[in-house]
Amino acid sequence: MDGPRLLIFDINETLLDLAGLRSIFSEALGGGESVAEWFFRLLHGSLVANVTDSFRSFETIGVEALRAVALRQGQELSDRDARHLVDGFRSLPPHPDVPGGLSRLGAAGFRLIALSNGSASGIRSQLTHAGIVDRFERIVSVEEASRFKPDPAPYRLALSRLGVEAGQAMMVAAHDWDIIGARAVGIPGAFITRPGVVWTVPHPRPDLTPTNIEELAAELGA
């Protein structure tokens, strides 16, 4: 097989639809737009954790971020209520193209793994609920590296766990920063341009910019 042999998949937004959280957040905070702010604060918190060497679980940072969003809106969430809302992250539906696209890629001989900022148990819960956990050879969590993406450590960890060279792998993500993080250790990327997803970093876009996983499979000859 020419090209990548190992496809490393981001999970949230890339495979799973965050829109499922909007109704949950709307009921609790009075606005579905809170999902976007929460997710950005969640990512911000993970980057601060990297820089300050203060790693803690993505779920913990998610609770911190959610309580911050609530406070900005003049509300106060208890730790228990915030954790209940963040647990909704584990029951997101897959985008419609995902099950079939992953099956096509697996049938074509590609090795598929999941690499996420979530905990190992959280990732498995997400993929199990979405009905796609069986598509992946392995789940790799950044908690093994104590660094969040896009730090180089999680990408190197994934390569080490699978025994694959960077040039034989490809990062698949709907986040430009994830593509750039993988590229920093020599892993090329496929940028999934779902509706509303834009490339914002001052680096060249990857050659592969499919709109969904079915299209990615077709572009890779699956």
> Any idea what the Cα angle at residue 137 is, between residues 131 and 142, rounded to 5°?
90
Q: How far apart are the first and last CA of the chain?
A: 11
Q: CB of 12 within 8 A of CB of 92?
A: yes
Q: Report the pLDDT value the prediction gives residue 1, as an integer from 0 to 100.
A: 47
Using CB atoms within 10 Å of the CB of residue 181, give its burial: 0 to 12 exposed, 13 to 18 middle, 19+ buried.
Answer: buried
pLDDT at 26: 66
* The pLDDT of residue 89: 77
**Could you give the residue range(s) of every CATH 3.40.50.1000 domain in the chain?**
6-17+94-219
Q: Which amino acid is at 184?
A: A
Q: Where in the chain is the domain with CATH 1.10.150.240?
A: 18-91
CATH class of the structural domain 6-17+94-219: alpha beta
The predicted structure's pLDDT at residue 74 = 78
Cα Rg of the chain (Å, integer)? 17
CATH among 3.40.50.300, 1.10.150.240, 1.10.10.10, 1.20.58.100 for 18-91? 1.10.150.240
> Taking a C-beta distance cutoff of 8 angstroms, is the pair 141, 123 a contact?
yes
Look at residue 2 in the predicted model and tell me its pLDDT: 64
pLDDT at 215 (0 to 100): 98
Write down the pLDDT at residue 75: 78
Tokens of 84: 């209940």
| pLDDT (tens place) for every residue of the chain, 222 residues total | 467 899 999 999 999 998 877 767 666 666 556 777 888 888 899 999 999 999 999 889 988 988 888 888 777 777 787 787 777 778 899 999 999 999 999 999 999 999 999 999 999 999 999 999 999 999 999 999 999 999 999 999 999 999 999 999 999 999 999 999 999 999 999 999 999 999 999 999 999 999 999 999 999 999
